[in-house]
Every structure is written in C-alpha cells, then in structure tokens.
Structure 1
C-alpha cells in the first residue's frame, strides 16, 4: 500500500536494491506493457529494478499494473451501446437510433451489433514517467500533507489515515505543530481511532474549543470543516473525559468559540454530560450552562458587526487589530466606509505580519484586480461538496492609489516572511504557471489521475478529437442496494460570449455540423456501464464555438456518494475511428465522482486557446424537470462564466515572491538550482509540497 500511495501522489516507487541481475527481457516486456497504459520508467528506476530477482520483480510489476489500470480506468470492461462508435453513430439513420433507444428503455437490452476490427492506434502518445523514490521522500510527503497550511483532499486524508493505522512509529511523520485546525481534528481523531494518541501530542495540537469540536466531529465521522452538521455518536466514558479535559484547558475565548457553533455544542453536551464532571471540569459545566440557558454574553463578532452597521470604520478597525486575519478579510468593506482609506491601509499594515500567507495572497490578488469590471464574483464555500457561488460584481470602484498601497503591504509582508526560509539559489519560474491557481482549499477535491486546483488551466495535448468517457456501476452500498442507476454523460458547446450553440447527450446523439457523437444512452449498470462522447475541435471553432462543458447527471437521482463506483474522464484522439474506443494510453485525465450531489461538471474545454479548465464542481439545485442537460442550462452557463473569469492567486505569483525573497532569478531553466515549472522541479501537481513548503 505504501507504493500505491507514493505512485498515485508523486509517480514514484520505493525499490530496495538487491544483489541480483534481472534478465533484460523481463524489464523490456514490463516496460512495453506499461507503455500501453501511458507510462514508462525513469533511468534511475530501471537501474534499481535491474538488481531484483525475478520473483521480486514479478511481485512489483503485478502490483504496479493493477494500480496503473485503476488510476486511468483501464481495470473495467467498456461495452458501449454502439460498439463501432463513433462512425457507427454518425452513419446510422435517425429511425435506427430511435428504435434501439426505445427497445433499450423498455427491456434494458443493448442492440446486438458485432464489434468490427479496428485499425490499430496510430496516435503518438507522450508517456508519464515513473521515477525512483526514497523512504525519506515518502515520509516527507506524508508529513507535508499533515502540516499543510490549507485543507487537504479526501484522498490525502485516506493516505494519512493508512499511515497512522499501519506504522508502529509515527514520530517521523508527525510535525510539532499542525497549522490548519481542520487537519488537527482529522489527525488526532485518527490517532485516537487506532490507539496511537499520546497525551502530550494531543495537548500540543488541540488548543481551542473549536479544536475540540472538530475532534468530536472527526470521531463521529463528520465534516471537520464544520460546514455541515454532524450526528455525534455516543462516546465512551474515557472519550468523554478526554474531550471535556481538552475543553477545560482551552483558551480564554472558550465561551465565544463555543457560541459560534452554539447548537452543535448543545447537542454534543447532551452526549458528554458535563454536569456529571462539574467538580473535575467546572469551567466546562459553566460554559454549557451559558449556552443551554441563553445567558447574555457579548461576543467579539457582535461588537464588530454593530460597528459596521453604524459605519464606524475606526471602531471596527480598533477591534479587528486583535484578530488580524479577520481584519484582512474585512479590509475591502472598511475601505468603502471610511473617509480616510489610506490611513486604514496603514492600520492594516501594522498587523499584516500576523495574517496567514493564504489570506495575504488572496488579499493581494483581490486588490490587484479590484477595479476590473468582471461580470461575476466567484466564491467556493467551505465544505466537502465542490460548490461554487457566483454573484453579480457590484463593488464600487476604489481609489487606485489605495488598492496599490494594499498590494504593496501584502507583497512586502510576504517577501519579509519568505526571506527567513532557506535560500533557493538560482531560480527559474515558468510563465506557464500563470495558468495555475494556488491550492488554498482541497477539502472537496475529487480523487483524480492528476489533482490540481479549480480554475487552473492545463494545456490540451495534440490531437483533433476530444473523447469524454464515463463508467459507473450499481449495486450494494453500506448494506443497501442502489436500485437501477442511470448516469448521463453530456457536453454543451458555447460561443465566446457563453451563448448556447449545441449539445450532445442522450437526447441528441450526434451533430453533423460540429462532427460530434454520443455512444448511446445506457440506463442500467448491474455489471457496469459506459458512455462516450466525441467532439471534433476544428468544426467547433469553424462555426464560432469556443467552450465545451462536460457534465454528468444522475438521471435516477442517486447522489454519486451512494454509488459503488462512478468516474469520468477524457482522452485526446487524432484518429477517432482507429484503436479501441477506450485506449488507456490516450487517457489525459480521470476523475472519481463521489460527491453528495447529482450533477457534476468535471472540466470545461476552451478549444480556441486549447486549454482545459479544471472545474470539478457540483451543481446542488434541482433542475426544472428531468435531471438532464436541458434542465440545467442556467446553472451550466453561470458556472461556465464564473470559472472562465476567475481571479485567484496563481502559482506564478507565489513562486515569483519566493524567488525574489530567497534567490536570484534566471531566465534559463538549465542554469537554475531551483525550478518551478509545469513539467520539472516543483510542478502544479505537487500539491503537498506547495502547501507545506511554500504557502507558509
């Protein structure tokens, strides 16, 4: 499992060098086989593998192939409704397509077509390199995830939990401090779950009442971001004493912390029974009494809101200087209601060094683009479901001098902070990193072949045809059968102004004008089912198209989290009628769909700029009637506009600051000691490294 985690996260393997000489034919055969899956070995990995015995190599190879197939979706059988897709769909008559669809809807049977021989794949595919790793790098990878200064993905949580469960000694993995409170609750919860929690360690991690609430939430398998309510389980007496003991020693702001989540604390108190321990934990008993009986208590938040209500900017600033992060988040509001905005910037400057790096980067980016007239402002609410909220941009214009002063304050604070980190030497920063967003929040990121941040733009590989695919299965989940599951794959085309021009779905299997085709609507998946969509890029551009939005709709209305398996992805094909319909080596991305939603938008394609906009979003609102692409046009268009006009801090901005503070920039990548680029050095896919070493 260690190498499974390492492979998925960093495309590396740990291989203990042996004293054997592996016959060349074994290595050559293995590498030829994994080329079919789109991967190859680095020279360092080949050298290490050559020292293994045949038995050791066979075990390594068998596990590697199993893992690679699962990563790209090549571990299942793809049987589309029309096995000779796409040509078969494009050449069939309307009557033939209609009759087969009706028969399938009535009987669930697929048409009886023979799969014809296809010409072998001619596409030249760039291979992903699997490198040789080390125990030290693996440990640092896990440690970096734990001490990330931002929320981590579900995949990262599962990896960390496996490490906690399966390593006797955790000293090397656990840092002295965990900066993000969400991660505190999750990690301490896992330590307690597997009986590996030391009192000293827990005490150093859990410091506030909200930390205790997150821990109770983690122990109840809830959402540690606290964005959603949790049904707390019954705790054992020892667990109750632990939670109350940690709460008793929380900071001086215990009452205010607990009032933020008043109703949850009242429910938790009904399980913890603090009155039973009133002599041992008198402070806890007193605070729960305030919450249960609604005793008056003026909070910091109430004072700030009252000052803002009366537009007393300086009273609010005086309060907020004791909570610098909140000051930063409310700075735009303060600047809008004060008559002396530059003085307000100077007040913020006094506390800027107390603001976290993620918040400073976001404030800097916000004020850099503050007066640009974007149609929408887009936010990603906290929680485990990947939602986006887009609202009209009605912010009034601010004095450019004021905006520039805020930007300089943030920039200078970050430069000062980064300058205290180890030097980087000569640094190369790839301009292509302007297309990649800094990974501030990954809690709702889906498991994927390549995990990057929403709004980031990937370069589209060479090829003429985009092939979207999905695979899903119905069956037993947590002791209950899903019933029939019908997942619909759709693609909608828009022009540069987001005006609808065409869609491909089960309601419209093909478009001659845009050279697009759907492989056929399958409505049940007892053994798994698949759907494909092909879209010719040149024809879309020729007739004024620019954006293609891929979407997945649960027609039978099961949330994706209640399915045994469901994923989507896309390939780039040069000759769509050649090679198999599903060619593993042509898979560019695969994303597991497991959110508590019925509508998912994995990617948006900008076919004019040939970029892929990573969205990984859920639409939570119910459509007008059926859950299909036609019923979600408004939501699709809004999300498309929001994601293509997103203004967020980029990796280029972040790494340029590090280069200025810690090294000397060079224009030649080959001259650099530290490289930040899309393919070499620190890349956008090294999320753990970025969060733990550069967003600090």
Structure 2
C-alpha cells in the first residue's frame, strides 16, 4: 500500500503510534532517508514522533525499501575498476587494455585493486519531500487511473491490479461511472472477472461493453495480451460464464459483422475458444457474424468505404461518410484537406463534429496543425506495448491556404467550450517551464521511472559540472552482457565519437569498463564532463543501452539505468542515491534502447524512452548509429502537445491568466497546486 502511495504521491500512511520514540531515533530515520535523497515534511515527522521504537523501526524498513528501489540503491553498483573514475582518468591506454583483458581472460572477475578512500560526497540534488497521506488520497489513485482518457503504462496497470486484488468487489465503489478509454476498460474488466468474479462485477462489465471491439479487448486482456491490438494474442481458455458474457455482448450490438471484420483473424482465433455454435439459436446475429468471417462473405467495412472514396478521388464523399464518426474525421482531417475536398465543407463538418471528439484527439490535432510544415521530419510512435519511434521526411502536399490555422482555431474553440463546463479555477499562473513538458497522452509503453515523464519532455540539467550515467543488470537464463554507451553529435547532428566498452575515453567522457557477465549483478558507469564536451563542439549526447548477447530486457530478472549529477567527480562513492535525478527500469521486449538525450546547448535532458530497431550482427552503439541518429533528430522535431498549452486552455476557459504567481488562486508549477509530474491528476482532471 505505502509502496504505491510513495511512488505516485510522495506520501505514506501511518496511524498514530504508542509513543516512546526518542529524538535521537527520529534523527537517525531522517539521516537514513537523506542518504537516499529524501526528507520528511514537518507533518510526517510529527507522526513518526508518535511511534514506539519498534513501530518506528518497522516504518523505516518500509520507507527505506521502497525509496531505495526508486533510485537504484537497493542493488550494489560497483564498477569494473574499483578506482573509477580516477583510474580511468589517469591510466595509460595500454594499461587500460591490460586491465580489460584480465577481466575477459580470468573469467570475468572484477579487479581487486584497493582504491584510495574517496572524500565525502559534496553537494547533491535537492531533497525530495515525503509527506503524510490519507486513505482518501490513496483510494483516489485507483479512481484517477481508471478515469484516465489515455493509455496506461505497465506500472499503472500493475497498481490498478493491486487495488482489484486487495479490494475485490469493493473496488467497484472506487471506479468511475464512465471509463473513457477502451483499453483501460478492457484491462479493468478482465481483472474484475478474474480476481473478483460475481454478479456485481459481471454487471459492471456488461453495462459498459458497447461494441464488438470492446469484447475483443476484454478477451485479449483476459489472455494477458496487448489490449491496443497492435500485436496478435494467443487466447487461453475461457470459463463458461466468460464465454456467455462476451457472446451476449456481441448480440447486443445488433449486427457486429463490420466491427468484427476490422480484426478478422483475431475473431477467427477467438471464435475457436468461444464456441458461438453452442448459442446459434439464442444469438443468431452473433452466429451470423462469425459465419461471415469464416466463409469470407463480401462485406464492405466503414474504413474500406473511406479508402475506396479517396482512391477514386471522391474526397467530398469521404468527408460526408466520416461525419458519422467524429474521431475518425479528426484523425483523417489532414488527409482530406490535401486530397481535394472542399476546405470550407471539411472545416464546417469538423466544427459540427468537434464537440464529440475526445480531448486527447483534439489536443493532438491542434498541436499537429500548429506545427505543420515547420520541421523536415515527421515523428511517429506506433501503437503497442513496445516503445518505438519512427522518423520520415515530411513529403505531404501543403494544405489549402489558411486551412491549418482555421482548423486549429476550431479545435481550440471546442476544447475551450469543453473545459468551461468544469469547476472554476479562478486567477491562474502557469510556469513557463511547462512549455518543455509534454502532455501525458500515451503512456502505454512508458517504462517505470523515478519521475514520470512523457516521451519528448525536456527537463533542465542541474547546476553541476558532471553527469554520471549508470546501468545495473543481472543475468537471465545465461550469460548476459549489457553495454552502456554515449554517442556524441554536434549541433547539426553530425556524429563525433562514442564512449562505450570499445572506447573508454574521449571528448570529456570516461567509461568505467566493460563487464560481460553478471551472475550476481553488475554495473557500468560513464562520466560526462559537460563544460569540456561543450568546448569540444559536442551538442548532443545520445545515451543508449544494448544487449550485446541479444537477450531482450524482459527476460532479465532486473535491469535499470539512470543518471546522477556531481559537482566534483572525485567525491563520494561511484553510486550515491542522493545524486540520482532519473532512473528507469528496462523491461521491454527489445534489446536496444535510448532512455534519454542530453541537449548541451539548451542545457536540458530530453526524455526518449524508446527502443532502437534493427538486428545488427554485433549489437552495440557502433552498429546502431543510424537508428540512434534518427531518434535523436526525431526528438528535436516532436510536435506533441505541451502542458503549458493544455493548462492555458483550462485557465482561459475556467478562470483567467495572471502575470504574477502571488496573484493566482491556482498555480500550475512543480511546487504549485498542479505539478508537472502529477500525471494521474492531469490525466483524470485535465484531459
């Protein structure tokens, strides 16, 4: 329970205790948490003071275990060379080579060099505050996750599953009446039917199954598949009650044939498990739909009709058909406008349909229209559980004069009308730094991390000379070699050099040495001297991680990476939890990824969290440079909606904007009423 609350809200639950804890014991708790980079609020400290010594010890164990894991301090991070970084900085190339060969030849032993004691750590990031939470705040996490109008990450789903596991049918009181995002509903429905079976759960699911695709997603979620339907699923066995529920949901759709034809092969495979023939008399429409699929009967789908109209040059007819489905009209708007449709007619149809388009789709369309034609690359993040990025040259025909601006204005008006119906905010102040943070519109493939950042977001680097990258992993079923690398590019995206296991030094970067086996866990580090890198002409540092032995990260017991900021490189231990700014779990099905990029000119870290495609003969940074370079450039041209624009729309519709923070009733800032990393609240209340 406290693990979820600490991760998501920076708070913990603690009842008043029996008393007896001394001031010295409280100071020891504070000191332990400070070593991890956290501090207690006065309210939390007062509640700890009411505990007995035994209760205080239990609370400290729980806090320490959770907070250590968030930074990576729960694992020993030791470099190959115990005297890193000093050893790598001063040792000759020949000696570095001999040390590396010793590691390979002696069956991967770490070096037994006794390093000189490091001076105590000087500096560190600002401590993150841990406050006292309430049961209402804790249960609100479940409500906000379920109410999200956008996709959830795996961490989000795990937390939702915890609530359903623990509360069983009682979780129904925490679920919103309307679950807007179909993928999230499917996950919740399958979890309820599996973990809290009964009439109430079945009724909750049945009332919200509106389409054949809804039923398909629930079946996929039951079989632990990809509810986005980007990947096929191997369906498991379904109990009779589940089969009956899904088949009756199909019958309630009227004629589900068209919707089922969108996912024809999936429904064929699912039909083998549902046995619709057992219900052919009672559910004739459902039986007929399955026969249509199996016998390949001709049946034109909605999307097929749209493609036919566009192929024949009848864009106006396509626009007329799309008016019946506002979301599809918004998604295809650009295509319609550049395909010869009458711009005035298309814009009028958009205006009429905009009130029925979801907020996330309107926001994305608004942002894309505002940025259209400004960048040489278009960036795509394909739907699915695996994080991938694609970049392509923008070769689209230009839109008719004024069409993009007019369509963007329609989107803005529709959003303002929608937001004006919500509770007033009063005078609002918005931190300008929120322009660099992306709105959380798609978290489906987001990795677990210390700070929840949306792909493409930028955060200012701390005032420190050095950034230390770190990686920790443990072997899977066999020997596992994971490599940490940093590729240097100039401001024009020209490649300069790479720091990796095959090149330990250069341009102001230093690698801790290559470890090629991790039966007990292993760590690699890279130190980056930021002023020296800038002086050497480095504009970007693309951080990448590669499974040289080609196991995907999901097959490893644990793998994580991140970065620390250090004012002085020779103080403290190689890994100090209180200097960790970001940490990300690597658990995807991929074997190469780019967690983030450092933009040295703008002094920012750019959150990427994407996989690198391709299957080179040797999986390392040198053989993945084309993918690394493409992702780097794509991230610079990302046109996703930012938080500032989202909050500005809310402020103008629900209150007013003020120039001074002191004048505001509602402050949108990390230390204000709505913080940039309060993703749950943003998704549930502002999207």
Asked if TM exceeds 0.5, the reply is yes
Query: What is the distance in 1 between the residues matched to 2:407 and 2:608?
Result: 30
Query: What is the distance in 2 between the residues matched to 1:319 and 1:611?
Result: 46
Residue of structure 2 aligned with 1:241, choices 215, 232, 244: 244
Query: What is the distance in 2 between the residues matched to 1:396 and 1:304?
Result: 20
Task: Evaluate the alpha carbon distance shift between residue 253 and residue 305 of structure 1 in structure 2; reply closer, same or farther with a 3 A threshold.
Answer: farther
2:205 is the counterpart of 1:210: no
Matches within 5 A, 1:173-252: 173-197=174-198, 198-249=201-252, 251-252=253-254
Q: Alpha-carbon deviation of 1:21?
A: 6.0
**Which blocks of at least 5 consecutive residues in structure 1 are unaligned?**
476-481
Query: What is the distance in 1 between the residues matched to 2:278 and 2:342?
Result: 54
Query: What is the distance in 2 between the residues matched to 1:686 and 1:567?
Result: 23
Residue 162 of structure 2 corresponds to 162
Q: Are the aligned partners of 1:122 and 1:575 in contact in 2 as well (CA < 8 Å)?
A: yes
Q: What's the TM-score, normalizing by structure 2?
A: 0.97
Residue 292 of structure 1 corresponds to 294
Residue 523 of structure 2 corresponds to 530
Query: What is the distance in 2 between the residues matched to 1:544 and 1:406?
Result: 42
2:667 is the counterpart of 1:675: yes
Residue of structure 2 aligned with 1:484, choices 479, 494, 497: 479
Residue 479 of structure 1 corresponds to none
Matches within 5 A, 1:111-126: 111-126=111-126
Task: Evaluate the alpha carbon distance shift between residue 124 and residue 75 of structure 1 in structure 2; reply closer, same or farther with a 3 A threshold.
Answer: closer
Matches within 5 A, 1:275-354: 275-338=277-340, 340-354=342-356
Query: What is the distance in 1 between the residues matched to 2:222 and 2:342?
Result: 49
Q: Are the aligned partners of 2:125 and 2:581 in contact in 1 as well (CA < 8 Å)?
A: no
Other structure's SS at 1:561 match = helix
Q: Are the aligned partners of 1:428 and 1:669 in contact in 2 as well (CA < 8 Å)?
A: yes
Q: Alpha-carbon deviation of 1:16?
A: 2.1
Task: Evaluate the alpha carbon distance shift between residue 51 and residue 671 of structure 1 in structure 2; reply closer, same or farther with a 3 A threshold.
Answer: farther
Residue 418 of structure 1 corresponds to 419
Question: What do residues 555-598 of structure 1 show as CA deviations (whole Å, max 9, x unaligned)?
Answer: 00000011110001100111111110001100111100000001
Question: What do residues 501-533 of structure 1 show as CA deviations (whole Å, max 9, x unaligned)?
Answer: 12100010112xx22110000000000000000
Q: Alpha-carbon deviation of 1:154?
A: 0.4
Residue of structure 2 aligned with 1:585, choices 578, 588, 610: 578
Query: What is the distance in 2 between the residues matched to 1:172 and 1:45?
Result: 29
Q: Are the aligned partners of 2:388 and 2:612 in contact in 1 as well (CA < 8 Å)?
A: yes
Other structure's SS at 1:123 match = coil
Query: What is the distance in 2 between the residues matched to 1:229 and 1:556?
Result: 27
Q: Are the aligned partners of 2:456 and 2:606 in contact in 1 as well (CA < 8 Å)?
A: yes
Q: Alpha-carbon deviation of 1:19?
A: 6.3
Question: What do residues 329-376 of structure 1 show as CA deviations (whole Å, max 9, x unaligned)?
Answer: 11111111226313321221111111111111111111112232x111
RMSD: 1.4
Query: What is the distance in 2 between the residues matched to 1:261 and 1:469?
Result: 43
Task: Evaluate the alpha carbon distance shift between residue 358 and residue 651 of structure 1 in structure 2; reply closer, same or farther with a 3 A threshold.
Answer: same
Residue 91 of structure 1 corresponds to 90
Residue 600 of structure 1 corresponds to 593
Q: Alpha-carbon deviation of 1:218?
A: 0.9
Residue 478 of structure 1 corresponds to none
Q: Alpha-carbon deviation of 1:139?
A: 1.4
Query: What is the distance in 2 between the residues matched to 1:196 and 1:134?
Result: 29
Q: Alpha-carbon deviation of 1:112?
A: 2.3
Q: Are the aligned partners of 1:567 and 1:592 in contact in 2 as well (CA < 8 Å)?
A: yes
Q: Are the aligned partners of 1:429 and 1:677 in contact in 2 as well (CA < 8 Å)?
A: yes
Task: Give the number of aligned pairs.
Answer: 683
Q: Are the aligned partners of 1:371 and 1:398 in contact in 2 as well (CA < 8 Å)?
A: no
After TM superposition, where is structure 1 displaced by more than 4 Å over at least 4 residues in a row?
A: none
2:470 is the counterpart of 1:469: yes
Other structure's SS at 1:119 match = coil
Query: What is the distance in 1 between the residues matched to 2:569 and 2:148?
Result: 42
2:571 is the counterpart of 1:572: no
Query: What is the distance in 2 between the residues matched to 1:253 and 1:608?
Result: 58
Q: Are the aligned partners of 1:139 and 1:172 in contact in 2 as well (CA < 8 Å)?
A: no
